[in-house]
Amino acid sequence: MTPLPSLSLSTPSPSTCLWTPRGSPYPLTSLASGTCPSPSGPSIPWSRPPSCPDPPNKHIGGDHPDDCIFTYPTFRNGQGISIITFPSIAASLAESLDDGIVPDSVKNFPSSPQAPSHLQHKKAYTVKDIPGRGKGVILTRDAARHERMLTGHPVLLVRFDFLSSERFGSDLIQEMLEEAVSALPEETQKAIEGLARGKKGKQGWVADVIKTNGYGGMDVEGVGHIALFLDGSRVNHGCRPTVFWRYNAKTMTMEMVAVRDLKAGEEIVHTYIPLGYTLQERELMLKVWGFKCSCSLCSASPQETAASDDRRERLFEIHQTLTSATQEASLPRERIDAIVREASALIGLEGLDPLVEYMFVFARAYMSINEVALARKYTQLAEAKLRLYEGEDSANNSVPMQMLWRELKELEKEIDEDEW
């Protein structure tokens, strides 16, 4: 493992960003085009020169930059973070690393590492053994629908494709992952070690922890990463989830929001797979995770699971009916009203409130018959749900959401013009 040749503040070459000072004033576009913010001042956040080993199979994978290990041990009040990614991507995270970017509402949340100690004791949950599921997260008090239950910041952030990179090969991947952990503060290292379950794949225990406990789909500069949180990584899967998680990339904050009112003693579970499928479909999807689901829905009586499957199949049918009726404008208002009522009841019974997709379908069904007020109501509901369950940033940047608003505005304009 060879560290970068120098940690001097001389200007890096434009095609390789080695690091960037915190609070970089440079816009993201300059990073996307491969230009590095020039380091200024002594406040380079990484604790040591980023470690960039030479991949043994450099001929595999083309002419892209190689992944390095970047560690910032004081991240979020000393929790620390190690990142394995391309240098330009690490540089783009500089502003997010600064603890000052975290809003007070997150800083003062009881599970935040930045919370004052008297608040840290007020967590709404405890992590404990759950028969057949390893550890899990259990509520210690009642919670209201849409309340935040848990927040956290990653301790490890790893470029997804790095984990299967033939260019690096299993031995070097294992070595780099272990180095990334050992560069973190001791308490964080211990917490990560606590997630290990004894089995060891060919890339070692850290890769196993990341694959079992990591959160995928973390997009940084358009590149997929996987993140490891501490308490957040203990949350088990549930096919009727009690919480939904959202991630704010700018502040690197994951938050879990209650889907419904919850009682003390209930388990906090989120879904590892897309929502709303039947038992058989879920079993198939969960195969890649390598466990048999024992959540409350999967272990319910055969009658209960059959009734749940029927409701979920009916919801799919409604989706199809409304989608094709929208294309043909073939359903009268009363029929759409009845179907929307039925679907809303099914969503409630199955605990599928975060299925924003249905709000889109309802809005478009009403648009197809020029019922602008109702179309607007469901467009607004879709946006509110996106904000709640996926977070402000995702909602603001959601292309499907922007398309839905555009369709509604065009319809309103057409109707206005006809009335004149």
Ligand X SMILES: C[S@@+](CC[C@H](N)C(=O)[O-])C[C@H]1O[C@@H](n2cnc3c(N)ncnc32)[C@H](O)[C@@H]1O
- Site residues (vs ligand X, CB under 6 A): 133-136, 195, 212-213, 233-234, 236-237, 289, 291, 293-295
Q: How far is residue 407's CA from residue 55's CA, in Å, rounded to a whole number?
A: 50
C-beta atoms surrounding 240 within 10 Å: 19
Nearer to ligand X, 146 or 211 (CB): 211
To 10 degrees, the CA torsion angle through 80, 84, 88, 90?
A: -10
Identity of the amino acid at 390: E
Q: How far is the CB of 137 from ligand X (least distance, A)?
A: 8
Considering the complex, what minimum distance in angstroms separates the CB of residue 24 from ligand X?
A: 33
Task: Give dist(CA 32, CA 297) in Å, integer.
Answer: 45
Q: Which residues pair with 398 in a beta bridge?
A: none
Q: In this structure, are residues 119 and 104 in contact, taking their beta carbons and an 8 Å threshold?
A: no
Distances (CA, A) of 197 to 74, 194, 323: 27, 8, 46
Between residues 208 and 353, which has the closer beta carbon with respect to ligand X? 208
Task: Identify the bridge partners of residue 257 per DSSP, sorted by sequence position.
Answer: 148, 244
Q: Which is nearer to ligand X, 133 or 387 (CB)?
A: 133
Q: What angle do CA 251, 254, 255 make, to 5 degrees?
A: 115
The neighbour count for residue 274, using CB atoms within 10 Å, is: 11
Nearer to ligand X, 167 or 234 (CB): 234
Instruction: Tell me the β-bridge partners of 253.
Output: 248
Pick between residue 287 and residue 409 the one whose CB is nearest to ligand X.
Answer: 287
Beta carbon of residue 203, minimum distance to ligand X (angstroms, whole number) = 17
Indicate the residue type of 253. T
Nearer to ligand X, 235 or 365 (CB): 235
- Spatial CA neighbour of 158 closest among 106, 214, 238: 214
In the complex, least distance from residue 129 CB atom to ligand X, rounded to whole angstroms: 8
| Shortest spacing between CB 165 and ligand X, in angstroms | 23
Query: CB of 30: closest distance to ligand X in angstroms?
Result: 37
Closest CB to ligand X among residues 191, 223: 191
SS3 142: coil
Q: Residue 135 CB, nearest distance to ligand X (Å)? A: 4
Paired strand residues for 255 = 151, 246
Nearer to ligand X, 243 or 295 (CB): 295
**Residue placing its CB nearer to ligand X in the complex, 291 or 405:** 291
- Could you give the CA distance from residue 265 to residue 291 in angstroms, rounded to a whole number? 24
Pairing relation of β-strands 135-139 and 267-270? antiparallel
Position of minimal CB gap to ligand X: 134
Q: How far is the CB of 403 from ligand X (least distance, A)?
A: 34
Which among 196, 163, 187 has a CA at the least distance from the CA of 77? 187
Distance of alpha carbon 339 from alpha carbon 231, whole angstroms: 41
| Smallest separation (angstroms) from ligand X to the CB of 300 | 13
